[in-house]
Structure 1
Amino acid sequence: MGFLPIGGTSLAMAAGTPALAIANPNIAFYYGAHPPVDELQAFDDVVIDPATATPPDAQSTPHTAWLARIDLRTQTDNSAQTPAAYVSQTVTPLWNRGYRGFLLDDGAPLDQNDRPDDGWLAGLVQAIHAQYPQARVMLRNHLGLAAHIADQLSAVMVDSLYRRYDLLGGFFADVPAAERAEALQRIGALRRSGASLAVVAVDYCARDDRACRRDAANRLEHDGLTPFVTDPSFATVGIGRIEVMPRKILVVQTPEQGEPLDLTAGVRDIAMPLNYLGYDIQYADANQALPHDIDSDRYAGIVVAIDRTVDNPDAWRRWLLGRIRAGVRVAVLGQFGFPIDQEAARALGLEVVPGAAPPDVAPHIVDKAPMMGFEILPPPDIRDALGVRVGAQGKPLLRLKAGSYVYDMAGMLPWGGYTLDPYGIATLGGIQQERWAIQPIDFFEQALALPEMPVPDVTTENGRRLLFVHVDGDGFASRTEFPGPAYGGQALYDQIFTKFPIPMTLSVIEGEVGPTGLYPKISPTLESIAREIFALPNVEIGSHTYSHPFNLEMIDPKTGARITGKVKKEWGGDSAFSLDIPHYKFNLNREIQGSIDYIDRRLAPPGKHVVVLQWPGDAAPPAIAVRRAYAAGVLNINGGDTVITKTNNSWTDIAPYGVSKGPQPDDFQVYAADMDENVYTGDWTGPFYGFTRVLETYALTDRPIRFKAIDIYYHFYSGTKLASLRALRQVYESTLKQAVLPIYTTEYIKRVLDWRRVAVAREGNRWLVRSGANLRELRWPLGHGVPDLKTATGVSGYLPGPGGLYIHMGGDQASFSIAPRGAGDIPYIAEAAGFVRHYRRDARAMSFDFGGYYKPFVSFADANGCRVTVDGKAVAAPVRNGVLRVDVAGRAAQQVTYHSLKVNCE
């Protein structure tokens, strides 16, 4: 049985990217139908099959060229078609789609004694250049021909230097050492001939064998080649000089029929600590079809959060054990979801405890790991015992004993870890609260073996905690209860919006303000107030829909129509689905696009328009509603319920950054960072000064760990009472005394959306991060070193803060290694109340554009001997204890005013 060559490739750059390749690029190959763009964008060039995949928009991956595969193996008779005709038929359509280079693959194996004068293939290269002189052309194997036409090629891809895969037999075989040595000799001769060709070596490992990929990539790099190691079908995020860190985690749970995803434990409790660790969450239902492509190249692990019976436990067990066998780490929180018999126990490295648990003997704790009993430690109850112990290869986290019956309610094993009810999330029914019985960050880090890596951060920028403001439109038509302005909106304009010159995002409900809504007689007055508010330079405009649906979960996820039937009592009983607007029948497009059009047409000043939809009511829209918001050209926010306070002090009350309602990027709902005043005022029954308690939430989500940005989130009805207005002023004044960086709500949303897609990769002892257009901050463990600024690119500075070292990026990509301590003689940005753009460093000199909305300044550390110019003018800024601070002009407006800063140090 012969060994067949695998795959085929073509290089081609997507539209909008430069025609010339960078020197010695990192190249990946992926031929599957749905390339994992988020992970692959860590590479400079990515080869895809244009027959099954389409490259993403160049703006979303500005540092990656997406290359097309041309498979010449269909060209069996070279005389049947001239090279020029082949270019016209095959190459030109790819060129018109934006590709600017081509790898030609006729299936020739590396050991083929190819002729330097291979006429048809050489003619094809010449024909491509004749038609498209700027095209990059690359060959697969064909080393003899490559040497002959080296001046017409950009690179050569060789494959199977160490392993071949037998397509018919389905097995790998090692390449004989003599054959490999001969190939390396030919590659060396090609290089010595003076050809400046990059040589990319592709090798193969099983899809689930990450260790094999690492080892093979190291061997190829040791041979002096640019490596890429993947599976035989080219459907894996392989390893080259760089290894991409997977940043997705799948949470599998069992929601009740009709239960909104937002209310499940996977979203409500589990996602937040995983977000903090840097991981984007996807969700699956163990009672539905489970995904088949959950592999360790893209997923850092699986979290099982099952809290009720699985319909088909055998199918669920097969799926989960299959993922474990494939090398995917698993953390079980609550229950496994299938019986742990002897067979399942062996597969999981567990031991079934012989005999039965004694019902009349109270169990007690024998051994407890430090992570157990984090916020609460429920008393042992023999009825909770599953009857398993951790085997010899594992480590118990919570061992209990009842008489001679010894069992483990939590443990770590080679495949991951588990903690069983009630030692994961414990419910306190009497006070309707929850507590973590296990320290979730420690548990997930250990169970999923999460690597230490730079974590993209949406709470901070340039060392300052992000602050944004958004106001829902509820109560815009409500009258004030004190002398002065007639309506709450006017009171807020007078006492808040114009008094605190920071970015704010304000919305209205068309059904309250507009002429077709509830109050047509006072609509002209309300519209006038809205126009005055929206005209403020520090205000961006949002919509809070047309009729303010109270129960977005009652929208049909397929059609977008209202589901008739009972609604939640807390939203007004059986009849109240939304505001009772005469003659109005719910229509999702009217709620979203219609309300946006109304505000843009009647309320927004010239040059402004609606930029965000602020979800109303339960803020639990189905995917169809989220998609329609994006289709309307706006971002979206609300939901999440972050309400941690001193009297409800649990991490279970800190929501994640958002929730993915489906598989597409436009299915993602961004949550409010903190909850609104309604929560702190007894659902607006009092005390009406209660919003001051949100300061507790801000503090508890900042120290000892910074989980959240600050979100001053409230409604227009806060302008109707003196107590609530005083509370608002106190919140603003207290917050602005802190080390914050005010931004617009949409700027926060864009950071969250970028956060989901950030690529983090390791290259030896260096880190490569590509963060997108908006996100500029990374977090690194405190005490584990700092970026080596002497060798870093794209790093503007760093500052210790709550929970980590905050590393500032000067652009949308950075490369750095970690040193034990700072260099001490290289100035850097320690802190900045503004945005750094176009950052450049040259030894002890820096230049960049800088601006901000509220009291912008930048502080430089290790700045002895430094001089600063702002817009070309020298600034007198004394250095104190090695720190130099420069203040610049700035104000809250729709566009930041940037200043050119240059720092030169002796």
Structure 2
Amino acid sequence: MSAEIHAGAATPLPAVERRLSSTLRMRLAAWRALALAMLSASAAPCAHAQTPTASPQPQSTVRDAGLLQRTASPDIAFFDGAHPPVDLLQAFDAVVTDPASGFEPNAHLLAHTAWIARTRAGSGEASSFVSQQIEPLWQRGYRGFLLDTPGAVAALDAIHSAHPDARLMIGGDDALQAALPHAAALYAVVGASLVRGVAPGGRPFDVAAAERAARIDAAQSFMRRTGVPVISIELCPADDRACARTTAAQVVASGVTPYVTNAARNVVGIGAIEVLPRRVLIVQDRARDVPLDETPGVRDAATPLNYLGYDVEYADVNDTLPDDVAPDRYAGVVVWLEGDDPHDGAAWRRWIDARIAAHVPVAFIGQFGFDAAGDEGPALDLQPVAGPFSGPLSIVSRDPIIGFEAQPRLGPRDLTGVRVGAASRPLLRVKSGEATLDPVAITPWGGYALTPYTVVSLNGIGQERWAIQPIRFFAEALRLPPMPAPSVTTENGRRLFMTHVDGDGFASRAEFPGPDYSGEALYERIFTRFRVPMTLSVIEGEVGPQGLYPQISPRLEAIAHKMFALPYVAIGTHTYSHPFKWEDVSAQTGERVDRGGGDTAFSLNIPNYRFDIDREITGSIDYINTRLAPPGKKAVVLQWPGNCEPPAIVVRKVYAAGVDNINGGDTVITKSVNSWTNIAPIGIAKGPGAYQIYAPNQDENVYTNDWIGPFYGFTRVLETFDMTERPLRFKPIDVYYHMYSGTKVASLRALDQVFSTVLKQPVLPVQITDYAHKVLDWRGFAVARAVRAADASTGTATNAAIGAWIVRGNGEVRELHWPAANAPDLRASRGVTGYAAGPDGTYVHIADGAARVVFDAANAAPAAQPAGASAGAVPYIAQANGFVRRFTRDAHGMSFEFGGYYQPFVELANAQRCSVSMAGHPVAARRDGAQLRFDTPPAVGLKIDYQPVEVACGD
């Protein structure tokens, strides 16, 4: 439908309008009159006016003849709930909230998103309105204001005078007309709904086609006249994302910026972008004496979900389950049940039914926890199959995901009597006698994999194997779209490499001539030989004068002080007494719970010491900072000791102490233990503010059979590094070991071999705290896709490789993993510094944690456009052994700041006509065809010395 209106043209009244009420015809006439008036007022078109298009970047503006020149329409969300989901909403350029909700923007300041307050005012002085309402809101962190009453609009000039940088918006009745005199100061205008509006009293209604056309005409005319974008708020039921997606696409097709939400405005709506939820809830039946860390949801399910880009939360099926698991916040629910049915079966079934009714995909592993093929079976497209089953089993059909690492032995007694209907797709269909059953299937609401087609125990060797390919199964069952997911394994095309050392054995004697203690041996043969960023730690109770060895404490402290003084060494604490059994620490108080046995079984048996969690954490940190750390350094991380399974209250205390945390998880996959079940997740959410970050892989204790031998066994960690890189890059590299590795020649040689091998690979050395910060950013990283007009006909997103993706974080994550060979279109993308082919797709480099990435349809076929090929001869960063920030690109080249810890360099592609200068001086770069490489000085200490780089390209 054309939005053009020609002033003075006589248009016959369409037949549909002749049937409308006189009131509605008067309203249509008013809208058309407004459009005509705005066109008439612009006899000479403004040079800066244009139809806005969606953009993930903050709206850029420059002044021109008293008006704002805008390059794109901002993406604006509207949220009136008390607890805005900040992580998701940061995908928008601005978020309008109700200040009365209690939300405090100062506690949630974002680099790329402004908080805007909805304000209302009656009659009165504008100056009073500014001082009494605007100023307090400004102090709370609001940086924009939506004025939707005549009194508030009347104060607009006063607000603009007091805060010229404030993002000002006008809404309410007749917003377009009210905004016209103030266009020069406006960020956006909230116009009338175009598709699904709200009637007086809050009742949603569909906007009639004729009135919609008139509203579109008025909005388009206003935008052409002023250059100010118009936002249309539309309403759909909270759980109906298909409705929201279709409605948003319809508005996008009209040239207006949409925001589709529910009547209460307490969901993450869909605008010109749709934010993809990246959380999955795992519900499982955990025995009370089993730590969360040891449950199958953590040990098995979380890793494939993390690989796909999803963070995981956990719930117990027999506890109160959350009622806010909605499709705007959660990508899906995984149910992993292995024991008895839930205690309250009726409540469990109601909860599942509510999730399915809300269009949240559900994947069952093991059991349903209810009679899935009972009375409600037809609604789930499930059919009961009467048992018992005793005949021999045969396979009728099998998808390739079945039998991924192991094929379970076929036995009729393990089968559940269920078969899917025509709307579902069986992944495994078997026959027992005359009965046909489907143990694994994809259904309209999700999917399931029933026992034994889940994780198979190999009891003879104490190992496990996946009976299904879990990444494919979860992606299909939960309808997880391919997306450019934030990566914690890679930066600038190179796999991350870190190393950290736990303090155990620092007081142990070296078992060969020369150094006296293990720390001294490591200092001589490892710490000073491999000058890479590393984190070293001690156990205070082993090293300090009040600990186990007061007689040798001066010597141990001297070694510790010397190693901590190395400029590339960061400092960690391994606690005071090294608790071994964290299950003996109360989850409620953090105190030790005496379960029998002496202190030796719980921690180091330090004389006259009674366990105190604060002494373990802040006490050990204070000891290190005051007695061992050189000037300018402090302890920055706590490295979990023992079984590394602390309760949530202890994890929160570490965050409160101002340090990071690391350790735990069991990534020990090798050629002899070859299963994804031996790859741990990124970390574990133990509750609000209690996220434990797992070590990327395990230490030498595992590879030496608990330090029994062989003591060269740590060389097998190289198998782990390789098997978590190919065929899929699950993990970065972490050379993680203990101080006692310095006691033996064999273990020292193993370390030398491991470091030497790793440093020959394309890695990017980082500190363990850099990795920890990336993990925390990864959890809240926002990924959104641009809504396309083509989506309007289906209510679903079109080919993910076509169109734009918007990503935003706090700046720690600077790499995206795209699970295909597509190269990004560098001309259409923004914030993309480059890309590189990986073992499992394309790794896209981004700057400062925010980007708009476009994958062009022309580059969709891997054979036609491999990840390493040029993209229109635009120069880009192919790889860099360091960190890029403040990146900009123009027609003549690019500029950025660069620095790194260890042998930093940048390699540019498509750079045959480029030259490089650094800090204003030409750089001698090495050329290889269209590739260009230059080196920069390494960091002297822990702080990166960033150098300004200019890349000039042209004839």
TM-score (norm 1): 0.91
Q: State the match for 1:816 in structure 2.
A: 853
Structure-2 separation of matches of 1:689 and 1:899: 41
1:269-326 deviations in Å (ceiling 9; x for gaps): 1111111110011111111111111111121111111112211122111111211111
Gapped runs of 5+ residues in structure 2?
Answer: 1-22, 25-57, 63-67, 789-802, 860-864
The within-5 A match list for 1:341-352 is 341-352=373-384
Quote the residue 2:706 is aligned against.
683
Structure 1 residues 885 and 290: alpha-carbon distance in aligned structure 2, compared to 1, 3 A threshold:
same
8 A contact 1:366–1:399 mirrored in 2: yes
Give the Cα separation in 2 of the matches to 1:651 and 1:432.
15
Match of 2:94 among 40, 45, 51: 45
1:428 aligns with 2:458: yes
Aligned counterparts, 1:798-817, within 5 A: 798-817=835-854
Q: Show the counterpart of 2:350.
A: 318
What is the 5 A alignment of 1:889-904? 889-891=937-939, 893-904=941-952
- CA distance in 2 between counterparts of 1:628 and 1:167 reads 51
Matched, 1:825 2:873: yes
Instruction: Tell me the secondary structure at the aligned position of residue 467 of structure 1.
Output: strand
State whether residues 566 and 574 of structure 1, in contact with CA within 8 Å, keep that contact through their aligned partners in structure 2. Answer: no
SS at match of 2:242: helix
1:844 Cα deviation (Å)? 5.1
Alignment of 1:292-691 (within 5 A): 292-309=323-340, 310-353=342-385, 355-359=386-390, 361-566=391-596, 576-663=601-688, 666-691=689-714
Equivalent residue in structure 2 for 1:147, among 180, 194, 218: 180
Match of 2:83 among 28, 31, 34: 34
Equivalent of residue 118 in structure 2, options 69, 79, 82:
69
Distance 1:154 1:900 in 2: 33
Q: Following the alignment from structure 1 to structure 2, what is the Cα–Cα distance between the partners of residues 898 and 196?
A: 39
Aligned residue for 2:315, secondary structure, equals strand
Helix, strand or coil at the partner of 1:576: helix
1:103 paired with 2:136, answer no
Q: Which residue identity lines up with residue 379 of structure 1 in the other structure?
A: R
Which digits, 9 at most, give the CA deviation of each residue in 1:408-436, with x for residues without a partner?
A: 11011111111111111111222221110
Partner of 2:134: 91
**Contact 2:895/2:948, CA 8 A, preserved across alignment:** yes
Is 1:778–2:778 an aligned residue pair? no
Contact kept? 1:565, 1:574, Cα under 8 Å: no
Cα deviation, 1:316-353, whole Å, max 9, x if unaligned, reads 11111211111111111111111224223223211111
State the shift of 1:823 in Å: 2.4
SS of structure 2 residue aligned to 1:342: coil
**Gap change, CA 1:599 and 1:214, over 3 Å in 2:** same
Contact 2:326/2:360 (<8 A) preserved: yes
In the alignment, the residues of structure 1 paired with residue 659 and residue 430 of structure 2 have an alpha-carbon distance, to the nearest angstrom, of 54
| Secondary structure at 1:364 match in 2 | strand
- Measured in 2, the distance between the counterparts of 1:686 and 1:130 equals 75
Among 191, 195, 198, the residue aligned to 1:162? 195
Q: For the residues of structure 1 that align with 2:315 and 2:350, how far apart are their CA atoms?
A: 16
Deviation at 1:711, TM superposition (A): 0.5
Post-superposition CA distance 1:378-407 (Å, at most 9, x none): 011111111111111111111111110111
Return the offset for 1:817.
1.0
Aligned to 1:262: 293
Structure 1's 125 and 829: CA in aligned 2 closer, same or farther, altered over 3 A?
closer
Structure 1 stretch displaced more, 506-515 or 558-567? 558-567
2:101 is paired with a residue whose SS is coil
Q: Which residue of 2 aligns with 1:797?
A: 834
Q: Does 2:898 correspond to 1:866?
A: no
Distance 1:312 1:692, change over 3 A: same
SS, match of residue 840 in structure 1 = strand
1:152 to partner: Cα distance: 5.6
Query: Relative to 1, partners in 2 of residues 1:574 and 1:411: Cα closer, same or farther, differing over 3 Å?
Result: farther
CA 1:470 to 1:59, structure 2 compared with 1: closer, same or farther past 3 Å?
farther
Of residues 892-901 and 403-412 in structure 1, the stretch that sits farther from structure 2 once superposed is: 892-901
Q: Distance in 1 between matches of 2:545 and 2:829?
A: 58
Secondary structure of the corresponding residue to residue 77 of structure 2: strand
* Alpha-carbon distance in 2 for matches of 1:130, 1:795: 37
| Contact 1:501 1:891 (8 Å CA) reproduced | no
The 8 Å contact of residues 199 and 225 in structure 1, kept in 2 or not, is answered as: yes
Is the 8 Å Cα contact of residues 38 and 759 (structure 1) preserved in structure 2? yes
Which of 755, 768, 774 is the aligned partner of 2:778?
755
Task: Measure the CA separation in 2 of the matches of 1:850 and 1:446.
Answer: 40
Tell me how far 1:17 sits from its aligned partner. 13
> Structure 1 residues 485 and 768 mapped into 2: Cα distance closer, same or farther (>3 Å)?
same
1:513, 1:523 within 8 Å by CA — same for their partners in 2?
Answer: yes
Whole-angstrom distance in 1 between the partners of 2:395 and 2:185: 73
Deviation at 1:475, TM superposition (A): 0.6
Q: TM-score, normalised by structure 2?
A: 0.87
Provide closer, same or farther for how the CA distance between residues 902 and 164 of structure 1 changes in structure 2, counting only shifts above 3 A. closer
Between the aligned residues of both structures, percent identity stands at 54
What secondary structure is seen at the aligned counterpart in 2 of 1:343?
Answer: coil
Task: State the shift of 1:865 in Å.
Answer: 2.7
Q: Distance in 2 between matches of 1:654 and 1:427?
A: 16
Distance in 2 (alpha carbons) for counterparts of 1:188 and 1:872: 47
What is the CA distance between 1:824 and its match in structure 2? Answer: 4.5
Q: Is 1:566–1:575's contact at 8 Å kept on the other side of the alignment?
A: no
Aligned counterparts of 1:540 and 1:574: Cα–Cα separation in 2: 31
User: The residue matched to 1:787 in structure 2 has which SS?
Assistant: coil
Choose 891-900 or 334-343, whichever is displaced more.
Answer: 891-900
CA spacing shift, 1:847–1:160, aligned 2, 3 Å: closer
Structure 1 residue matching 2:138: 3-state secondary structure: helix
Q: Which moved more, 1:152-161 or 1:226-235?
A: 152-161
Deviation for aligned residue 1:162: 2.3
Name the CA shift for 1:167/1:642 in 2 (closer, same or farther; >3 Å).
farther
> What amino acid maps onto 1:91 in structure 2?
I
Question: Which position in structure 1 is the counterpart of 2:278?
Answer: 247
Matched residue SS, 2:464:
strand
Shift of residue 755 of structure 1?
Answer: 1.0
CA drift of 1:88 comes to 4.0
Hey, what does 2:800 align to over in structure 1?
Answer: none
SS in 2 for 1:518: coil
Structure 2 residue matching 1:524: 3-state secondary structure? helix
Give CA deviations for 1:613-633 in whole Å, capped at 9, x if unaligned: 101111111111111111111
CA distance, structure 1, for counterparts of residue 220 and residue 402 of structure 2:
58
Supply the AA of the counterpart residue of 1:771: G
Tell me the secondary structure at the aligned position of residue 652 of structure 2. Answer: helix
Q: 1:841 is matched with which residue: 864, 875, 889?
A: 889
Contact 1:502 1:892 in 2 (8 A): no
1:841-888 deviation line (CA, Å, top 9, x unaligned)? 223512222222222222222222332233433334343242222223
CA distance in 1, matches of 2:633, 2:513: 33
Asked whether 1:180 is paired with 2:218, we answer no
Q: Is the 8 A contact 2:300 2:677 kept in 1?
A: yes
- Provide closer, same or farther for how the CA distance between residues 133 and 836 of structure 1 changes in structure 2, counting only shifts above 3 A: closer
